Amino acid sequence: MKSIDYLNELIPFPSVSSTSNVQVSRWVEQRLQELGFQTEWLEYKDSAGLTKSCVIGRRGPDTGRGLAYFCHTDVVPVESWSFPESSPWEPYQTSDRFYGRGSCDMKGSLACMLAAAEFVRNEPLDSPLYIVATADEEIGLIGARHIAARSDTYRDIVQRQCRAIIGEPTLLHVVHAHKGGRAMKVTSEGIAAHSSTGKGVNANMAMIPFLSDVRDLSLRIESEPAWQDDRFEPPTINMNVGINDHTGALNITPAQSVCTVYFRTMPSIDASGLVNRIRVLAESHGLEFGMMFEGESLFTNPKSSYVAELLELTRTDTSQTVAYGTDGSCFTELDDIVVLGPGDIRQAHTDDEWISLQQLKQGTDLYASLIQRWCVKPA
């Protein structure tokens, strides 16, 4: 299968989000150009000063709505790897699986779309096809944010109101909605000292009453129907609180205490109002408050003609919602956007990551059928 050929080339790029993804992006750019796409290259520097890049390809005329496909080229780190036959950056194929970091999330999806685009490379298009590869999806959708803010090609996608596919793994089920997220950092400052001297100021002491208030708020929210959305499973925002004082020994008075608060937004939830409540709590205890991340929930009407058409093409009865987020949080200007890709999300980020060969074949066939339906000029 052509998708396997592409995936064999993609896996060896160790495109972990903490490193530059320029090499894998150049590979994507070259493949797109070979397939007849015009490409836009977008670069930015991340917080560590590394160069990151996104590639946007377009093929076809300046008429019709067309189809826009979105993926990311970064992958999560490999802290351990349990598959004995190969390393995470060494693609390995069995009779029914393909192993390697990113095989499921989500280089396998990109391989399917490139194979589908190659399948129709010699056919004339009457509506445009776009393939968008972002960076830093795994650490805050950063590349997608740059695309939404700076890409001329993306502005064309929005103006055209293309049918949009986020190719994250869904086992090729149509996902019409997913949760977003808000992440905050609350900081307490103290003075470091040897604890025997009594000269330090323990930063945790000011943090403790704030944590108590946040616990009470979280418990209240988890039980109140106004903060729930039964269209999702679980139907709650799942507030997660982390704490770290960064002390290396028991006898050091902590000079700083950092709390992170993260919750998942849903279309019916007042996310900004909840953020403000947490901000007020932090400031009432004299703590520093800062936003780390804001991602919108994604929602397309499950009764829309677009979703109905995709259900017909995927031969499924109903669309779904999921609790995780995608780059789609940044592309909410698009009216018709769903998550639809090969692979099982349960295999994403695992220490033996794989995608089934059946999903690669079915994903390629489905993407090719979407291109045929919405982009290829009728004979």
DSSP string, 39-51: EEEEEEE-TTS-E
* Structural domain contains residue 321: yes
* CA–CA gap between residue 106 and residue 70 (Å, rounded): 10
Average pLDDT along the chain: 96
Pick from 178, 179, 181: nearest CA to 320: 178
* Structural domain contains residue 198: yes
Do 169 and 243 fall within a single domain? Answer: no
* CA–CA gap between residue 344 and residue 364 (Å, rounded): 15
Longest dimension (CA), the chain: 85
pLDDT over threshold 90, residue 15: yes
CATH label of the domain that carries residue 146: 3.40.630.10
Do 20 and 157 fall within a single domain? Answer: yes
**133-144: buried (b, 16+ CB within 10 Å) or exposed (e) per residue?**
bbbbbbbbbbbb
* CA–CA gap between residue 279 and residue 185 (Å, rounded): 10
* CA–CA gap between residue 276 and residue 257 (Å, rounded): 21
* Structural domain contains residue 132: yes
* CA–CA gap between residue 272 and residue 343 (Å, rounded): 34
CATH label of the domain that carries residue 259: 3.30.70.360
Averaged pLDDT for residues 255-282: 95
* CA–CA gap between residue 344 and residue 110 (Å, rounded): 15
User: Dihedral of CA 168/170/171/172: which sign?
Assistant: negative
Domain boundary among 227, 260, 295: 295
Averaged pLDDT for residues 352-368: 98
Do 151 and 238 fall within a single domain? Answer: no
- Residue the block writes with tokens 């093409």: 313
Query: Which DSSP helix (H) or strand (E) runs through 15?
Result: none
DSSP letter for 377, please. P
* Structural domain contains residue 379: no
Domain boundary among 245, 263, 295: 295
SS3 223: helix
Averaged pLDDT for residues 285-306: 96
In the chain, alpha helices (H): 2-10, 22-34, 107-119, 142-150, 152-160, 203-223, 271-284, 305-314, 357-374
pLDDT of 273-286, one tens digit each?
A: 999 999 999 999 99
Q: What are phi and psi of 250, to 5 degrees?
A: -70, -25
Do 276 and 160 fall within a single domain? Answer: no
What are the tokens at 77? 């780190």
Do 344 and 257 fall within a single domain? Answer: no
Do 157 and 191 fall within a single domain? Answer: no
pLDDT over threshold 80, residue 379: no
Determine contact, residues 150/42, Cβ cutoff 8 Å: yes
* Structural domain contains residue 337: yes
Do 347 and 368 fall within a single domain? Answer: yes
* Structural domain contains residue 153: yes
Do 29 and 163 fall within a single domain? Answer: yes
pLDDT of 107-125, one tens digit each?
A: 999 999 999 999 999 999 9
User: Which residue range forms the structural domain that includes residue 198?
Assistant: 181-295
Do 16 and 150 fall within a single domain? Answer: yes
* Residue 367 CA to its chain's centroid (Å): 20
Do 281 and 306 fall within a single domain? Answer: no
Determine contact, residues 68/163, Cβ cutoff 8 Å: yes
Domain boundary among 239, 262, 295: 295
Number of domains in the chain: 2
* Structural domain contains residue 160: yes
pLDDT over threshold 90, residue 298: yes
Do 156 and 116 fall within a single domain? Answer: yes
pLDDT, position 328: 97
pLDDT, position 248: 84
Do 39 and 144 fall within a single domain? Answer: yes
Q: How confident is the model at residue 268 (pLDDT cuts 50, 70, 90)?
A: confident
pLDDT over threshold 80, residue 85: yes
